[in-house]
Chain A
Amino acid sequence: MKGFIGEFEELVLLTIANLGSEAYGVAIMEDITIRANRKLSIGALHSTLTRLEEKGYITSFLGEPTSERGGRRKRYFELTQSAIGELNNMKSLRDELWANSKINLSIQ
């Protein structure tokens, strides 16, 4: 089935891809806040991350302790192969829809 993941989930996955090896909670949140210009709470973000992990789209590991967080470790996220596949599915679905559009979608 194409398009199994939600819009926000897709956004989170792509953000993780953009951040590369620096993808952890606060970084993802800030990136989305700035780039997509939308407010979100850390709770909502972590819930989505947990769900993505359950679905097998991301994996996570704990980093080294850092002093800026009072010695607490960060949890980093990485995309799995199935996430990459799913993102491609989404993209091709969208491309297809764009290409076949009966009206002109380009902005004048």
Chain B
Amino acid sequence: MSTQPPKLATWLFEKLCGAAFAEDLRGDLDEIYGKNIQNKGQLKANLIYWQHTLSLGFSYALKKRKQDVTLTSYSTSRELSMLRNYIKISIRNLKKQKTFTVLNIIGLAMGMSIMVLCLAVYVDLLKFDEHHVDADRIYRVITTVEHDGNKETFASSPTALGKLAKDQLPNLEVVIPINDQFYANAQTNKGDLKFQGYITTSEFLSVFDFPLAYGSKTSLQTPNSVIITHEFAEKLFGTDNALNQIITTEKWGPLKVSGVLAPFPKHTHFEFDVLAGTSTINPSKNRSLADQWTDFHGNYFYFKIAEGSTKSQIASSIAQLAKEGNEYFIEQNEKATFKLQAIVDINPNEDISDDLGVVFEHSGFLLFFGIALLILLPACFNYTNMSIARALHRSKEIGIRKVIGSQRKQIIEQFLVETIIVCLISTVLSVGIFELIKREFVSTLADGSALSMDLTWQMSIAFIIFGVLVGALTGIVPALYFAKISPLSALKNNMTEGQVSISGLRKGLLTAQFSLTLIFMIGIGSLFQQYRLSLTHDLGFNKENILVIPISNQKQDILKNTLLANPDVRNVSFTNSIPGTDISNKEYVYFKSIQDSMRFYSIQTSESFIEHMDIKMVWGNTPDPRNKQIPDVVVNEAFMKDIRVINPDSDSLLIQLITGPARISGVVQNYHHEPLNSRIYPMVISLSENCHLALVSITSSDLAQTLESLETSWNEVYPNEQFTASFLTDEIEKAYEFFRVVLKIFGYLAFLAISVSCLGLLGMVIYSTENRTKEVAIRKILGANHSQLLKTLAGMFFKLWAIAIVIAVPVAYTFYDLVLIRLFNKFSDGIGSLEILVSVVITVGLGTLAILWQTNKIVQINPANNLRTE
């Protein structure tokens, strides 16, 4: 036994063993080595020794022994009481440092609120369409069309394929075709009411869980009968028992209500007011087979598979059936493939074209999530920052814990538990905030009405998991930091060194946070300014002192004359579309010679409209009502420009509209008939005697009296109708609702960002001033005055602000000027320096307040009090 085993291997094994008992294991190793060295020679013995050492070093045997050693102080059965201990100590600690706890909880709650909102929407969406019976067996076919190498996926699918599947696949229990083009205006005595409906079969109601309140499912088989929703019935008829009532539409003729659905829960992607049967309208009637295959826009094909069949079986049979359509797609140089999508997977979905009903897409979510993260991360960072900053106060506690025998793991656990408690309290608070803002938020979302956002148990679980997760992620950095502290230096109170100053990384993060806040603040500032500018923008027509009065179609001439007899009324004209608001009526002009058409916006007015509104004519005359054969119309400059691009018959002023031929009698200067977020599109103003709005210019010193006299005149003409009037400027302001929504969202985000960063700032200032109380006291005794002290204490923060401003202003300017405000005001002159300046001053002002509030407190203290304790 003269030769020893390789030293390195022995050393490694000892290291791997640590405190574990391994005498017998090493004995075994040495024994094998001894035998091998006699039989196989040293080199081979060494190799084998290495092999055995490594296999034993990483074996379960050793791992178990090591565990046994560490667990001697407390066993798994005591895990729970240990947790109780952690929680108790955490709560004591949190109570001891009330200011920090409150700052942290409020900051985190604000930071988490947007993420909670994001989570709630997501959890809500996961429940979509799960309430249908056998929802797991309901699918729809989605189509991917490849054209010139571009792939696009549609939620719709060819009607021909649906028919084939229905006839030939026995393992489809029910096949439900849906066509979503059943929309029209229902005529009521209060004006037209738009509705949206599906053309489907009565199976729709047996597969999807929409219970009927009145009527029967099979009534859809009767031509011209429809089933309507509870809400639509109430809107249209004022009562939900609308059975056998008639809905009059221009497009589809009279429709008889043969059923009313009971109110159904939200959480479905289907969105309709009316269901009509294929017996009323057959979408595939008079369509060639080629069209039924390739032109499938708006046609959907849902089915329930028979029990025992699998998705893949059906998918392959459908792929087989789809081969029949191949030739038609090839004719169009396209290639179509079909996939099945489960109804429960529709929401949330990847980006898909031609969607049916309410669909929230992943990409939109990602953006939402990103914004939520932008708000949450600074809050988490503030917590981390403040916790580490408190190290000075906690180092002794940690030192004593370590000396007593606390392990690294236990210190980490202690701090994690503390952070998680804080985060859970914050979660509760942020759910409170969420409850306050959720209605408002949902109303700003398109399709938001489909979300219920009720606090369900699934949501609560998601929130708790989220809180714990945020706690763990936020807490891990301070926990690791504290676990690293050496007990000796902690007890000797050596922590002060290198701790008073804030490290570079933390300075960087603070700056980033300030920048973010500034960017949000500049955003809200510039948007607000743009909103103001939009309302004062010169729209190209006179909008002052004009009343908008809804009227009925009759006796307009009499009304005009009666109103004009009133001394306060200067002018009266009629229109179908309020200038300065959205135009709903889009039409096409058709050019036979070149087989092309051009889209334009169409409005109908009375003869005097152009003159009354002060809209400038650049050529020609206002339309003459006497030309009945071929009516006169007036177009705008944009129309002339576009028509020149298309270049139809050289110089003719005759154009072909849907209503028949018309003659262009004049051209008006481009004016903003639509809100400023819309470009000026080609527009045609034609004459009509059936306008439903009167525009009345008034000059009045006493508004109330004028309105009263107008009402008296009104009652002479329409004794049975209510007089309502609003100012044109108010109506225009209403058209900017989209802008106010954005302002609201941005305002809230900016508020959160600035609150979170001010709270964080306050925390950092408190920390850095507390650590320097003695220094301040000594400086004071040596003769420093207030402003000098403030400079020493707060100087660093102002430097960081300055850097943040240098970073944020150009970024914000470029982004908002080039991208954001153009979305809302196409005619903006860009962002002015004033709004940037105001936003920056407000932000810095609030930050400064936070800094000075605390520093001032320290500076005010009598230095003797600070030094006496020593």
Residues of A within 8 A of B (CB): 24-26, 29, 41-44, 46-47, 49-51, 54, 62, 68-70, 72-75
CB <8 Å contact, B59 and A72: no
Q: Report A-chain residues with C-beta under 8 Å of the C-beta of B62.
A: 43, 46
CB <8 Å contact, B64 and A50: yes
- A76 to chain B: closest CB distance in Å? 9
Pick the most buried of B26, B54, B56, B58: most chain A CB atoms within 10 A of its CB. Answer: B56
CB <8 Å contact, A42 and B52: yes
With known contacts A41-B55, A51-B60, A68-B1, A46–B27 Cβ distance under 8 A: no
Q: Kindly identify which residue among B23, B35, B58 contacts A43, using a CB–CB cutoff of 8 Å.
A: B58
CB <8 Å contact, B27 and A50: no
Q: Report A-chain residues with C-beta under 8 Å of the C-beta of B64.
A: 50, 54
Main secondary structure of the interface of B (DSSP, over half): helix
Say yes or no for B29: interface residue by CB 8 A criterion: yes
Say yes or no for B31: interface residue by CB 8 A criterion: yes
Residue pairs across A and B with Cβ atoms less than 8 A apart, 16 shown, are A26-B32, A41-B52, A42-B25, A42-B28, A42-B29, A42-B56, A43-B52, A43-B56, A47-B59, A49-B61, A50-B60, A54-B64, A68-B34, A73-B23, A73-B27, A74-B28
Say yes or no for B277: interface residue by CB 8 A criterion: no
Question: Known contacts A25-B28, A69-B28, A69-B31; can you find 8 more A-B pairs with CB under 8 A?
Answer: A26-B35, A43-B55, A43-B59, A46-B62, A50-B65, A54-B64, A68-B34, A69-B30
Q: Report A-chain residues with C-beta under 8 Å of the C-beta of B35.
A: 26
Say yes or no for B726: interface residue by CB 8 A criterion: no
CB <8 Å contact, B61 and A72: no
CB <8 Å contact, B30 and A70: yes
With known contacts A42-B32, A50-B61, A50-B64, A70–B56 Cβ distance under 8 A: no
Q: Report A-chain residues with C-beta under 8 Å of the C-beta of B307.
A: none
| CA A42 to CA B55, docked complex, whole Å | 7
CB <8 Å contact, A26 and B31: yes
| CA A53 to CA B131, docked complex, whole Å | 53
CB <8 Å contact, B25 and A46: yes
Q: Report B-chain residues with C-beta under 8 Å of the C-beta of A75.
A: 24
Say yes or no for B51: interface residue by CB 8 A criterion: yes
Q: Kindly identify which residue among A25, A41, A68 contacts B25, using a CB–CB cutoff of 8 Å.
A: A25
Q: Report A-chain residues with C-beta under 8 Å of the C-beta of B25.
A: 25, 42, 46
Say yes or no for B57: interface residue by CB 8 A criterion: yes
9 A-B pairs with the lowest CB-CB distances in the bound complex, closest first: A43-B55, A72-B27, A46-B61, A43-B59, A75-B24, A41-B55, A47-B60, A25-B28, A69-B27
- B514 to chain A: closest CB distance in Å? 56
Q: Kindly identify which residue among B1, B24, B30 contacts A62, using a CB–CB cutoff of 8 Å.
A: B24
| CA A54 to CA B52, docked complex, whole Å | 23
CB <8 Å contact, B61 and A43: yes
- A36 to chain B: closest CB distance in Å? 18
- A74 to chain B: closest CB distance in Å? 6
CB <8 Å contact, A41 and B28: no
- A95 to chain B: closest CB distance in Å? 32
| CA A64 to CA B374, docked complex, whole Å | 67
| CA A92 to CA B58, docked complex, whole Å | 36
| CA A43 to CA B22, docked complex, whole Å | 12
| CA A70 to CA B31, docked complex, whole Å | 9
Cβ-closest chain A residue relative to B55: A43
With known contacts A26-B32, A68-B1, A68-B34, A44–B27 Cβ distance under 8 A: no
CB <8 Å contact, A74 and B24: yes
| CA A49 to CA B28, docked complex, whole Å | 14
Cβ-closest chain A residue relative to B35: A26
| CA A41 to CA B52, docked complex, whole Å | 6
| CA A46 to CA B23, docked complex, whole Å | 13
| CA A25 to CA B57, docked complex, whole Å | 15
With known contacts A49-B61, A50-B64, A72–B55 Cβ distance under 8 A: no
Q: Report A-chain residues with C-beta under 8 Å of the C-beta of B34.
A: 68-69
- B687 to chain A: closest CB distance in Å? 94
Q: Report B-chain residues with C-beta under 8 Å of the C-beta of A44.
A: 55, 59
Cβ-closest chain A residue relative to B28: A25
- B7 to chain A: closest CB distance in Å? 14
| CA A41 to CA B57, docked complex, whole Å | 11
With known contacts A47-B61, A62-B24, A75-B24, A68–B56 Cβ distance under 8 A: no
Cβ-closest chain B residue relative to A46: B61
Residues from 25 to 80 in B contacting A, C-beta threshold 8 Å: 25-32, 34-35, 51-52, 54-62, 64-65
Q: Report B-chain residues with C-beta under 8 Å of the C-beta of A42.
A: 25, 28-29, 32, 52, 55-56
Cβ-closest chain B residue relative to A49: B61
Q: Report A-chain residues with C-beta under 8 Å of the C-beta of B57.
A: 43
- A22 to chain B: closest CB distance in Å? 13
| CA A41 to CA B47, docked complex, whole Å | 13
Q: Report B-chain residues with C-beta under 8 Å of the C-beta of A50.
A: 60-61, 64-65
Pick the most buried of B32, B35, B61, B62: most chain A CB atoms within 10 A of its CB. Answer: B61
- A23 to chain B: closest CB distance in Å? 13
| CA A48 to CA B276, docked complex, whole Å | 72
Q: Report A-chain residues with C-beta under 8 Å of the C-beta of B24.
A: 24-25, 62, 72-75
Cβ-closest chain A residue relative to B25: A46
Q: Report B-chain residues with C-beta under 8 Å of the C-beta of A46.
A: 25, 28, 56, 59, 61-62
Q: Report A-chain residues with C-beta under 8 Å of the C-beta of B29.
A: 42
Cβ-closest chain A residue relative to B23: A72
| CA A26 to CA B24, docked complex, whole Å | 10
Q: Report B-chain residues with C-beta under 8 Å of the C-beta of A29.
A: 28, 32
Q: Report B-chain residues with C-beta under 8 Å of the C-beta of A51.
A: 60
Pick the most buried of A25, A44, A46, A75: most chain B CB atoms within 10 A of its CB. Answer: A46
Q: Report B-chain residues with C-beta under 8 Å of the C-beta of A70.
A: 1, 27, 30
Q: Report B-chain residues with C-beta under 8 Å of the C-beta of A25.
A: 24-25, 27-28
* Interface residues as binary, B233-260 with A (CB distance below 8 Å gives 1, 0 otherwise): 0000000000000000000000000000
| CA A71 to CA B55, docked complex, whole Å | 23
Q: Report A-chain residues with C-beta under 8 Å of the C-beta of B51.
A: 41
- A48 to chain B: closest CB distance in Å? 8
Cβ-closest chain B residue relative to A67: B1
- A75 to chain B: closest CB distance in Å? 4
Cβ-closest chain A residue relative to B26: A72
| CA A83 to CA B61, docked complex, whole Å | 20
Cβ-closest chain A residue relative to B5: A70
- B4 to chain A: closest CB distance in Å? 9
Cβ-closest chain A residue relative to B65: A50
Cβ-closest chain A residue relative to B54: A43
Pick the most buried of B27, B60, B61: most chain A CB atoms within 10 A of its CB. Answer: B27
Pick the most buried of A24, A41, A54: most chain B CB atoms within 10 A of its CB. Answer: A41
| CA A43 to CA B25, docked complex, whole Å | 9
Q: Report B-chain residues with C-beta under 8 Å of the C-beta of A69.
A: 27-28, 30-31, 34
Residues from 724 to 750 in B contacting A, C-beta threshold 8 Å: none
- A85 to chain B: closest CB distance in Å? 24
| CA A18 to CA B31, docked complex, whole Å | 21
Q: Report B-chain residues with C-beta under 8 Å of the C-beta of A43.
A: 52, 54-59, 61-62
Cβ-closest chain A residue relative to B61: A46
CB <8 Å contact, A68 and B31: yes
CB <8 Å contact, B27 and A74: yes
| CA A49 to CA B62, docked complex, whole Å | 11
| CA A20 to CA B30, docked complex, whole Å | 23
Pick the most buried of A43, A44, A54: most chain B CB atoms within 10 A of its CB. Answer: A43
Q: Report A-chain residues with C-beta under 8 Å of the C-beta of B26.
A: 72
Cβ-closest chain A residue relative to B52: A42
| CA A29 to CA B51, docked complex, whole Å | 15
Q: Report A-chain residues with C-beta under 8 Å of the C-beta of B58.
A: 43
| CA A94 to CA B28, docked complex, whole Å | 34
Q: Report B-chain residues with C-beta under 8 Å of the C-beta of A47.
A: 59-61
| CA A71 to CA B51, docked complex, whole Å | 23
- A9 to chain B: closest CB distance in Å? 13
Cβ-closest chain A residue relative to B60: A47
* Interface residues as binary, B1-28 with A (CB distance below 8 Å gives 1, 0 otherwise): 1000000000000000000000111111
Q: Report B-chain residues with C-beta under 8 Å of the C-beta of A26.
A: 28, 31-32, 35
| CA A50 to CA B64, docked complex, whole Å | 8
- B513 to chain A: closest CB distance in Å? 51
| CA A29 to CA B29, docked complex, whole Å | 12
